Amino acid sequence: MSGLAGTPPTDGLAVLEQRRSTAETFGIPLAVLAELTHRCPLQCPYCSNPIELDRGGTELTTAEWKKVLSELAEIGVLQIHFSGGEPTARKDLVELVQHASDVGLYSNLITSAVLLTREKLSALADAGLCHVQISFQGNEPSVADRVAGLKNAHEKKIEVARWTRELELPLTVNAVMHRQNLHQLSDIIQMAVDLDADRLEVANVQYYGWALKNRAALMPTLEQIEETSRVVEEAAVRLKGTLAIDYVVPDYYALRPKKCMGGWGRQFFNISPAGKILPCHAAESLNGLEFESVRSNHSIAWIWQNSEALNLYRGTGWMKEPCKSCEFREIDLGGCRCQAFALAGDAAATDPACTLSPIHAKIFKQAEREAAAADNRFLYRNFAGGTPETEGEHGA
């Protein structure tokens, strides 16, 4: 239970125990997301990684990740989600999955699937992998491969999804939805049934980072969102017991914001490829915040409890009006700090997804105009800061 560079004797669980009241409120999360790498063969324009991607050379080593996994298990974490970028781009993934099993963590692989072979997937299953989640960009190659910015990606995903079930691993299909693929939703639901998935996540794009840069190309129309809700509701009833469907409503068409990540620093953290402990994927986009690393002298438990950046927006004490005196403040905790920073320029502002935000109307009118203008060109995600789409360059 120590930090990677050694631990002072008063660190870690001892600190948690001494600070019981804080620990009770912000106990160690049950599940943690390990972003093993930002490297990825896909270039999705809504990628949740930061615009400033961590280069391969800064990634935690195999030994560092193994130490992190041991430490997580020791402090009471039960599940580890291996994510990225593309986690299978790490050559040591089987070793890391094996280590997660050895220390008693339930492991989930969140993957684009395009780098997997049947042998590799089988080796991961033998190492104790418990669950596979594959992202799909659509239901047919012409749309899906163009969104992913990679030819033949869709076909490969279908193949890997079949191997997953042949190896008797549970499968979740993750479908990120936006203006350019929402018309395929019924077919995507059927695809998930045909692939024998246990669960389908219908995730409307959340607009920070890369997705914010691509908002004009991705923003759905109100009619599309109404139709989506209808399709999801009908399918959820029809497929009860066959396919569980999770549905994330897009902020831009909600009246009140979501309780992002269940609250800042409250029930979740992710570890970036370079080892920073973050309250959400997008937190590194907030200027001026210093997130501590597992490479520091502190243990993970100490960082979770004491990190200045994690404590900054915990609870409701940081709020300004209108959140400060709002009856919903304990329910949504003021929404998303990253969206507030991206759209209002102030991470402590009310999330503009809320109708009570002074800039709600202006920002959402602009989004509506963008959806209606239907400029469909993407800015693809990459280490160069993004590449504008040119006709015929990407996809099928």
**Residue 19 is a binding residue for ligand SF4 (CB under 6 A):** no
Question: Are 302 and 12 spatial neighbours (Cβ–Cβ below 8 Å)?
Answer: yes
Residue with smaller CB distance to ligand FES, 40 or 336: 336
**Residue 334 is a binding residue for ligand SF4 (CB under 6 A):** yes
Q: Which does 19 bind (CB under 5 to 8 A by kind): ligand SF4, ligand FES, none?
A: none
What distance in Å separates the CA atoms of residue 60 and residue 274, rounded to the nearest whole number?
Answer: 5
Strand order of the β-sheet with 131-136 is 244-248, 199-204, 171-177, 131-136, 106-111, 79-83, 31-35, 269-271, 277-278
Q: Which residues of 218-240 are buried (b: 16+ CB within 10 A; e: fewer)?
A: bbbeeebbebbeebbeebbeebe
- Kindly tell me the number of DSSP H helices and DSSP E strands found in the chain: 16, 11
One character per residue 303-342, x = contact with ligand FES (rule: CB under 6 A): ---------------------------------xxx----
Handedness of CA 138, 141, 147, 153 (dihedral sign): positive
What are 135's two structure tokens? 């992202």
Give the single-character DSSP code of 266: T
Residue with smaller CB distance to ligand SF4, 255 or 384: 255
What distance in Å separates the CA atoms of residue 163 and residue 160, rounded to the nearest whole number?
Answer: 5
Among 261, 277, 300, 343, binds ligand FES (CB under 6 A): 261
For residue 23, give the H/E element and its range: helix 20-25
Residue with smaller CB distance to ligand FES, 130 or 348: 348
Task: Count residues near ligand FES (CB under 6 A).
Answer: 10
Residue with smaller CB distance to ligand FES, 93 or 338: 338
Q: Which of residues 232-271 bind ligand SF4 (CB under 6 A)?
A: 256-257
**Residue 264 is a binding residue for ligand FES (CB under 6 A):** yes
Q: Which does 323 bind (CB under 5 to 8 A by kind): ligand SF4, ligand FES, none?
A: ligand SF4
Residue with smaller CB distance to ligand FES, 282 or 309: 282
**Residue 354 is a binding residue for ligand SF4 (CB under 6 A):** yes
Q: Which of residues 127-156 bind ligand FES (CB under 6 A)?
A: none
**Residue 260 is a binding residue for ligand FES (CB under 6 A):** yes
Residue with smaller CB distance to ligand SF4, 56 or 322: 322
Residue with smaller CB distance to ligand SF4, 11 or 351: 351
Question: DSSP secondary structure string, 173-206?
Answer: EEEEE-TTTGGGHHHHHHHHHHTT-SEEEEEEPP
What distance in Å separates the CA atoms of residue 350 and residue 341, rounded to the nearest whole number?
Answer: 10
Residue with smaller CB distance to ligand SF4, 19 or 329: 329
**Residue 332 is a binding residue for ligand SF4 (CB under 6 A):** yes
Q: Which does 283 bind (CB under 5 to 8 A by kind): ligand FES, ligand SF4, none?
A: ligand FES
What distance in Å separates the CA atoms of residue 119 and residue 313, rounded to the nearest whole number?
Answer: 45
Tell me the CA end-to-end span of the chain in Å, nearest whole number: 49
Task: Count residues near ligand SF4 (CB under 6 A).
Answer: 14
Q: Which pairing describes strands 106-111 and 79-83: parallel, antiparallel, or unpaired?
A: parallel
Binding stretches for ligand FES (CB under 6 A): 208, 260-261, 264, 280, 282-283, 336-338
Binding stretches for ligand SF4 (CB under 6 A): 256-257, 322-323, 326, 328-329, 332, 334-335, 350-351, 354, 356
